[in-house]
Chain A
Amino acid sequence: MSTEYGHAATGGGRNPGGAVLSVRDLTVTFPSDDGPVKAVRGVSYDLRSGEVLGIVGESGSGKSVTSMAVMGLLPKTARITGSVEFRGQELLGLSEKEMTSVRGKKIAMIFQDPMTSLNPVYKIGWQLSEAVLAHHDVSKEVARKRALELLEIVGIPSPDKRIDQYPHEFSGGMRQRVVIAIAMANDPDVIIADEPTTALDVTVQAQVLEALRAAQHETGAAMVLITHDLGVVAGQADRVLVMYAGKPVEIGPIDGIYYQPRMPYTVGLLGSLPRLDQRTQEKLTPIPGTPPSVVNLPPGCPFAPRCPLRTEICLEREPALLPVLGAEHEAACHHSDQLVNHERAMEIFSTDPNAVPGAGPQDGGPGAEQGVGESGEQSAGPSPAPSAEQGTVQDPASPAPGPGPQPEQGSGPAPGTGPNRDQNPGTDAGRDPGQDPQSGAAQ
């Protein structure tokens, strides 16, 4: 369905095939007391005219920060490098005034919480007209007429009455549709939608997704759809970019990513989803551990501590994004060839917690999250930098000594627990600001 719109848009005569938005080696770093937080560590993608690019990843993977950087919406403390080109025009480094002429008119953004995007003290119609008037020299009557049209397109019932109401009189789903209407107001070439349906109920989500499709169809804009919901992406996107720890780990056409994933993280993500359409009671395959903290990432592949395929090289060198299935589909994994014909999570991830690398078998607990989880937790946790680094490096290394390290090794982190714990009160204060930019910006 989404492809249909893709073609419709390219048929609309907008620079067919070319990239509207081109992001190259984008990095975003926030300073913090614990050291620099590398929220985005090198993102490159091309958004082609009329297509929908889905960006997926878990919280803290940097998917939202990437788009905020593209829109120039990050706080001044953020250090941004790389390049963001809109139809050949470099956006990074533009003055606020120059950026204002791009925002809304050429690139529009839709945020997760519609209430923060709408002004509670102005009527919906005024806010829509304002968006139209900001970039067009038309009369107020024309702007209001356009506002009515826009409300109609996004499926607001009886728009002629609704236009004179305030945001608080609208339900969450309708507010989000108003935000979509505002995003459409200036016929942008790119719409960036950041978790547009996350706070909404499913039946409302379906309405909003329908409105988004209508908006894209109407404007012929290319869209970046940021979400953690792999179901939403499956129905909307033409291509998908999977992010992990601030970097793209896989990018490709939607079918390739879902049916022939070539990065263990993507495989694991798909395997951990319960499926509405599955009768069989297969066990889910969770990914052991937790995502790493982007403060003081250890060298090597950031997914290595959780990865069932990791070897020595994974801990030493971070893999580059390389073509795996044709030039379109790229993955960042030293062992992506091992995934050929092993595309199902259960074939590479073990559901048996005792077999999880790094898990202390003596604990015998049913939680697969445990063993390696501890390392993830430590690095994400309050420990001061060096020990956090060690925690993640040591743990993955622990399978190397072989099956030996049982009970006592398992408590290897435990001696560390003592001093760690004592340090906590001290590091506590330092930790929150450290996480703030990350978590705050991640939303």
Chain B
Amino acid sequence: MTPDPAPAPPPPPSPGAAPLLSVRNLVKEFPIRSSGLIRKQVGVVQAVSDISFDITAGETLGLVGESGCGKSTTSRAVLQLQPATSGRVTFNGVELTTAGKSTLRRLRRDMQLVFQDPFASLDPRITVNEIIAEPLRIHGLYGDKGGGQKKVRDLMATVGLKPEHGNRYPHEFSGGQRQRIGIARALALRPKLLVLDEPVSALDVSIQAGVINLLEELQDELGLAYLFVAHDLSVVRHIADRVAVMYLGKIVEIGPRDDLFDRPQHPYTQALISAIPIPDPRRERSRERILLQGDVPSPANPPSGCRFRTRCPKFLTLTADQQQRCINEEPLLIGRGPGGMATSEDAAHKAACHYAETLDVL
């Protein structure tokens, strides 16, 4: 991806440029075991069920969905922290799912992870200097003492921390500052892709804004690509170039940010967006909410056909024949025209609904 010289403007998701990360038909299953001594496997949960997406260099893909939809599992399977059950993950042209340990270790330099909880993800027993130096040492890049220390100091300055505080321990920093330490550690190896798993959801709003701004600035400066996993759609609208919405292990809609938020096509995306409160009392009073009935079904036994049909407000308005299609036939994630007609598989904005229809819910 190095030949791509201008990562700063939000790159169009053109199929022409080879993507930095390419995920195809990714499936991640977890066994369900019986209780008792033998713990025989009695079933399987498909946490991630046949999903595909691309991320180009310098781009941010927001992956959103409610708890249990498989978004965090996806991020871990992409990094091969949990081996995928099937499917392909190609990073920079190299297939990761079949790569050996040493290849993976080398490639991990280029893809790093920032965790949600800044209190649990930093070793409380070592100083911030050591936390940030650790990846450098592991990959043999720390160099001599002076060189390594300079690298660490530079990294701390990059994320807006005072390098003099490098000798302090994590507990001496506030939540926002700890998250900056986590980001500095992830940046240490100059990665091309950062996987951010709910990076700001543990922070108070006034602190969260600073970390979001930092992430944006780093992307502009370093040309990083982000896989930004979050449940907060307001944050994702702010930071992402493209957004993928997950429900029960599947991507139900994916598209350029403004397309997706202003013209959502899938009934789940519409309900999700309409449920988010906007900090604007006048707008809130005039908004109509799409209230979903019931709860997310168990991923161990997902509904046939379209997985959302059991809660779908659109489903209730369909004729019996149309409903039958939702029950029998799983909708494909493809470009959709009026009435949900399939248009093109290469469309930028795709929805997995037989009867997809644009609806302005903001």
A residues within 8 Å of B by Cβ?
A: 1-3, 58-59, 157, 171, 173-174, 201-207, 210, 228-235, 254-255, 258, 268-279, 281, 283-288, 290-291, 351, 353, 360, 363-370, 373-374, 376-377, 380-382, 410-411, 413-414, 417, 421, 424, 428
A377 to B176, CA, bound (A): 10
> With a CB–CB cut-off of 8 A, which chain B residues contact A377?
172-174, 177
Nearest CB to that of A205 among chain B residues? B275
Nearest CB to that of A170 among chain B residues? B295
Q: State the Cβ distance, B171 to closest chain A Cβ, in Å.
A: 8
Most buried by A among B279, B280, B282, B295: B279
A231 to B210, CA, bound (A): 19
Q: Does B24 reach chain A (CB closer than 8 Å)?
A: no
Nearest CB to that of A61 among chain B residues? B204
Cβ-neighbour of B205 out of A3, A174, A273, A424 (below 8 A) = A273
A288 to B214, CA, bound (A): 13
Most buried by A among B173, B214, B277, B282: B277
Cβ-neighbour of A417 out of B164, B169, B211, B277 (below 8 A) = B164
Binds A, one of B93-101, B108-116, B152-160: B152-160
A417 to B167, CA, bound (A): 9
Q: State the Cβ distance, A340 to closest chain B Cβ, in Å.
A: 20
Q: Does B271 reach chain A (CB closer than 8 Å)?
A: yes
Main secondary structure of the interface of B (DSSP, over half): helix
A356 to B10, CA, bound (A): 29
Most buried by A among B163, B218, B278: B278
Q: Does B141 reach chain A (CB closer than 8 Å)?
A: no
Contact assessment for B278 and A234 in the assembled complex, using a CB-CB cutoff below 8 Å: yes
Contact assessment for B160 and A235 in the assembled complex, using a CB-CB cutoff below 8 Å: no
Supposing A258-B280, A286-B210, A417-B167 touch, asked if A366 and B231 sit within 8 A by C-beta, the answer is no
Contact assessment for B164 and A351 in the assembled complex, using a CB-CB cutoff below 8 Å: no
Q: State the Cβ distance, A238 to closest chain B Cβ, in Å.
A: 10
Contact assessment for A202 and B272 in the assembled complex, using a CB-CB cutoff below 8 Å: yes
Q: Does B103 reach chain A (CB closer than 8 Å)?
A: no
Contact assessment for A275 and B161 in the assembled complex, using a CB-CB cutoff below 8 Å: no
Supposing A174-B295, A277-B362 touch, asked if A269 and B161 sit within 8 A by C-beta, the answer is no
Contact assessment for B162 and A279 in the assembled complex, using a CB-CB cutoff below 8 Å: no
A-B contacts, 24 of them at CB < 8 A, read A3-B285, A203-B272, A204-B295, A206-B289, A207-B291, A234-B279, A272-B205, A273-B234, A275-B278, A275-B280, A276-B273, A277-B278, A277-B362, A284-B213, A285-B209, A288-B210, A290-B207, A363-B157, A365-B161, A366-B214, A367-B210, A368-B160, A414-B162, A424-B169
Please give 5 more A-B residue pairs, beta carbons under 8 A apart, in addition to A268-B206, A365-B158: A274-B235, A283-B213, A363-B162, A369-B160, A382-B172
A254 to B284, CA, bound (A): 12
> With a CB–CB cut-off of 8 A, which chain A residues contact B330?
none
Contact assessment for B284 and A234 in the assembled complex, using a CB-CB cutoff below 8 Å: yes
